[in-house]
Amino acid sequence: MLLAMDNVTSYYGKTPILKQFSFGLEEGKCLCVLGRNGVGKTTLMRTIMGLTDRSTGAIAINGADISAAQTYDRAKLGIGYVPQGRGILSEFTVRENILLGTFARPDSDGQIPEICLRLFPYLKANLDRRAGLLSGGQKQQLAIARALAVDPKVLLLDEPTEGIQPNIVHEIGETLMMLNKELGITLLLTEQHIKVARRLGDDFLMIDNGRVVATGAIGDLDDALIHKHLTI
């Protein structure tokens, strides 16, 4: 497995949010993490990046335990992260935001990787524009470009289509599909749009109350599971 968690419990303060959480993600696959708001999807992503207060259990990339590693060391091992809310630095330019991702690359030459400019022509044409002036969809493109600048083996995307107009949702979906199916970058993404999950995912993982309650091939994501764990 490229990325795996084994019996992980993750805390904010003394409160466990993820509970005895286990899963495995094969190289080259796209795993969609599903569940209602507040069930632990964002905490899963933050736990993998080492951003919760503490966690127990094992987290591994390519079989190497990273449970005790600092966040920047996890990035250096090839984990790219697009957080919920995007995490763009509004006062920085587009160029400066993307270059932040290169700090995790051992081969960084201080230049923006070509893939970031090729995938997002708008960003290429606006490198010196202040990031706070971008639209929501443009900021999401920038967040993905910054994560790609890490040269990731696996890309974590927390609600990548949240709050974005439909035409940009389709465009981002096309980009993610290309990254996964053509370039072979492994994807782990949380998503509430079932259509997006079914289009992008090879497999799904359903969370409820901080626990894994269902997993399987994306074709096994039926209406009964959706009604039980996603409808309000």
- Between residues 196 and 18, which one has the greater pLDDT? 18
CATH superfamily for 3-88+150-229 is P-loop containing nucleotide triphosphate hydrolases (3.40.50.300)
Q: Give the ranges where the chain is alpha helix by DSSP (H).
A: 41-48, 71-76, 94-102, 114-119, 121-125, 136-148, 166-177, 194-200, 223-229
- Between residues 232 and 41, which one has the greater pLDDT? 41
Mean of the pLDDT values across residues 210-232?
A: 91
* 3-class SS of residue 70: coil
pLDDT band of residue 70 (cuts 50, 70, 90) is very high
CA–CA separation, 5 vs 42, rounded Å? Answer: 15
Give the tokens for residue 218: 């994306």
Q: DSSP assignment, residue 179?
A: I
pLDDT band of residue 85 (cuts 50, 70, 90) is confident
Q: Over 80: is that where the pLDDT of 152 sits?
A: yes
- Look at 1-10, 41-50, 68-77, 165-174 and tell me which has the smallest mean pLDDT: 165-174
CA–CA separation, 20 vs 160, rounded Å? Answer: 26
pLDDT tens across 135-146, in order?
Answer: 999 999 999 999
Model pLDDT, residue 163: 82
pLDDT band of residue 232 (cuts 50, 70, 90) is low
Mean of the pLDDT values across residues 176-182?
A: 95
Mean of the pLDDT values across residues 149-164?
A: 93
Residue carrying structure tokens 């493109």: 141
Give burial (CB, 10 Å; 0-12/13-18/19+) of 167: exposed
Q: What percent of the chain has pLDDT over 70?
A: 100
pLDDT band of residue 95 (cuts 50, 70, 90) is very high
Model pLDDT, residue 100: 95
Model pLDDT, residue 161: 87
Model pLDDT, residue 211: 97
pLDDT tens across 41-56, in order?
Answer: 999 999 999 999 999 9
Q: ∠ CA 215-217-223 to the nearest 5 degrees?
A: 75
Q: ∠ CA 3-187-80 to the nearest 5 degrees?
A: 75
Model pLDDT, residue 141: 94
**Given its phi and psi angles, is residue 163 left (phi above 0), alpha (psi -120 to 50 degrees) or beta?**
left
CA–CA separation, 105 vs 116, rounded Å? Answer: 14
Dihedrals phi, psi of 94, to nearest 5 degrees: -55, -45
Q: Compute and round to an integer the Cα radius of gyration of the chain.
A: 17
Domain ranges of the chain: 3-88+150-229
Mean of the pLDDT values across residues 7-27?
A: 97
Residue carrying structure tokens 């905490």: 43
